[in-house]
Amino acid sequence: MIDRPRTILQVLPKLDAGGAERVAIEIAEAVRLAGHRSIIAAEDGHLSPLAARAGVELIHLDLSTKNPLKIWKNTKKLKLILKENQVDLVHAHSRAPAWSAYRAAKSEGVFFVTTYHGTYGESSRLKKRYNQVMAAGDRVVAVSNFIADLIKARYNIDFEKIRVIHNGVDLKKFDPEAVRGDRAVRLAKDWRIENGAPAILLPARLTSWKGQRLFIHALAKMRHGEAVGILIGSDQGRHKYTEELLALAERLGVGGRLRLAGHVEDMPAALKLADIVVNCSTEPEAFGRTIIEAQAMGKIVVAAGHGGAHETIEPNVSGFLFPPGDDTALAAIFDAILEGDADLRLAFGAHAREEVGARFSLEAMQTRYLQLYAELLG
C-alpha cells in the first residue's frame, strides 16, 4: 500500500500507436483509479484521445529528440514540471526521454523507474552508452524473462532491482463474444475479402525487422492461393518501404492477395476477421503484445521462434512457432492450419484464450506496477 496520494509522471517520445504507449496509458489509468495523480509527458499522437478518456493529465513536450543539447534543455523543463506538480516518481518508457527524466529525477531527489520495452541494438560503444539509461532506474522493469536475461548480460547492475512484468491484455475488449459481427463485416468489405477467402493477418508497424517481406514470400509459397494477407500498421512516413512491399508482392504474383490496411483503430474486429494471426519478426521481439491480443480473441497465432514468443506461445498447444526467417516453413504451417478441422481450430483458439486469461491479463499487469511503485513510495 502507498501511504498517501502520490503523483506519478510517465515520459514517452510520443503518444503514437505502439505497445509501450499503450502500456503507459494502462498504468496511468490504474494509478488514477487507485487514488493517485497520473501524468504523462509526451508529444501528441494517435493515442492522446485514449489517454484523455482514461483520465490522464497530459503535458505536451517534445521528448523524442536525441540531440544532446535538446536533451539537456528537456532536463530543465522536466525539473520544473517535477517541482510544480510535486512529482513523487518518474517512469520512463523510452531512451531519449529517459535521459532527461533520469537527470531531472536525480537532481530533485525523485524516484526513477524504467521499463525496458525492446532489445535495443548495441552496434557501437556510443549506442551501448545511449541504451544504458534504461538500466539506471531505482527499479528496472523487463517486459519478459528474455529481456531480464538480456539486461543481466549487458549491465553491471544490482539484479534485485529488476522486475519482470509481462504486458497485459484487456480481456473485456479483446473478447470474441463482445465484437458485433457488423464490425468485422465492414472491415472485410473495406479490405475486399470475398467469398469466404481465408484471411491471414500480420499486425505490426511497417518496418523491415517486423518481417513483412518474409510474410509476402510465405504467401507466394502457399498451396492455398486464395488466402489473403493483410498488413496492419502505419509506415510512419516510411513510404519507400511501403512501395517496396507492393512491388515485391507484384513480382511474386501475390499483389492481388495482399492488403495494406494502415493504422486500424478497431483491432478486436480486425482480429475476429482473421483465420490466422502471424508475428514473423526477423529479430527477437521483447514480448509481442499482438500475440496475446490475438490469443485473447481465440485465434491461432504463428510466430517466429525467438525472443518473447517463447513465453506467450506453448508450441502446438496455444500457438505455433516457426524457425525465424524461414518463409517456406511459415507457408507450410499456414497451409496445415487451413487444411485442418474447423472445430479443432476453434478448440485450439479457446485454449489459447484461457492461457492468456491465466497469465497475461491487464489487471495482473496493472497490479504488479502498482506494487512496484509501492515498494518505493509506500
Mean pLDDT of the chain: 94
Same domain? For 154 and 206 the reply is no
Same domain? For 309 and 198 the reply is yes
In a domain, residue 312? The reply is yes
The grid coordinates listed for 294 are 490475438
Same domain? For 105 and 183 the reply is no
Tens digit of each residue's pLDDT (9 = 90 or more) over 234-277: 888 889 999 999 999 999 999 999 999 998 989 999 999 999 99
Q: Provide the pLDDT for residue 196.
A: 82
Same domain? For 159 and 31 the reply is yes
Torsion of CA 123, 127, 131, 133, to 10 degrees: 150
Same domain? For 191 and 334 the reply is yes
Q: Provide the pLDDT for residue 19.
A: 85
Q: Return the minimum-mean-pLDDT range out of 2-11, 31-40, 144-153.
A: 2-11
Same domain? For 56 and 182 the reply is no
The grid coordinates listed for 335 are 497451409
Supply the range of the domain harboring residue 373. 7-168+361-377
The grid coordinates listed for 206 are 511497417
Looking at per-residue confidence, does 318 or 270 come out higher?
270
The pLDDT confidence band at residue 76, using thresholds 50, 70 and 90, is: very high
For the purposes of burial, counting CB atoms within 10 Å of the CB of 57, is it exposed (0-12), middle (13-18) or buried (19 or more)?
middle
Decide if pLDDT at 323 tops 80.
Answer: yes
Residue type, 146: F
Residue type, 125: R
Question: Percent of the chain, pLDDT > 90?
Answer: 87
Where does 277-341 have alpha helices with state H? 289-296, 309-312, 327-339
Give residue 356's region: left, alpha or beta (phi > 0; psi -120 to 50).
Answer: alpha
Residue range 324-331: average pLDDT?
A: 98
The pLDDT confidence band at residue 3, using thresholds 50, 70 and 90, is: confident
In a domain, residue 1? The reply is no
Same domain? For 329 and 261 the reply is yes
In a domain, residue 208? The reply is yes
Residue range 351-355: average pLDDT?
A: 93
Closest residue by Cα to residue 3 from 39, 29, 35, 26: 35
Decide if pLDDT at 170 tops 70.
Answer: yes
d(CA 366, CA 29): 9
CATH number at residue 102: 3.40.50.2000
Residue range 273-288: average pLDDT?
A: 95
In a domain, residue 87? The reply is yes
Task: Residue count of the chain, please give it.
Answer: 378
Residues facing residue 279 across a β-bridge: 303
Contact 319, 290 (CB under 8 A): no
Decide if pLDDT at 278 tops 70.
Answer: yes
Decide if pLDDT at 304 tops 90.
Answer: yes
Question: Percent of the chain, pLDDT > 70?
Answer: 100
Same domain? For 369 and 343 the reply is no
Same domain? For 149 and 266 the reply is no
The pLDDT confidence band at residue 18, using thresholds 50, 70 and 90, is: confident
Residue range 351-377: average pLDDT?
A: 95
Q: What is the pTM of this model?
A: 0.92
Contact 285, 221 (CB under 8 A): no
Residue with cell 477467402: 197
Domain count, the chain: 2
Same domain? For 134 and 180 the reply is no
Decide if pLDDT at 123 tops 90.
Answer: no
Tens digit of each residue's pLDDT (9 = 90 or more) over 89-99: 999 999 999 99
In a domain, residue 60? The reply is yes
Q: Provide the pLDDT for residue 235.
A: 86
Residue range 290-314: average pLDDT?
A: 96
Same domain? For 11 and 76 the reply is yes
Decide if pLDDT at 1 tops 80.
Answer: no
d(CA 48, CA 67): 25
Same domain? For 352 and 301 the reply is yes
DSSP 327: H
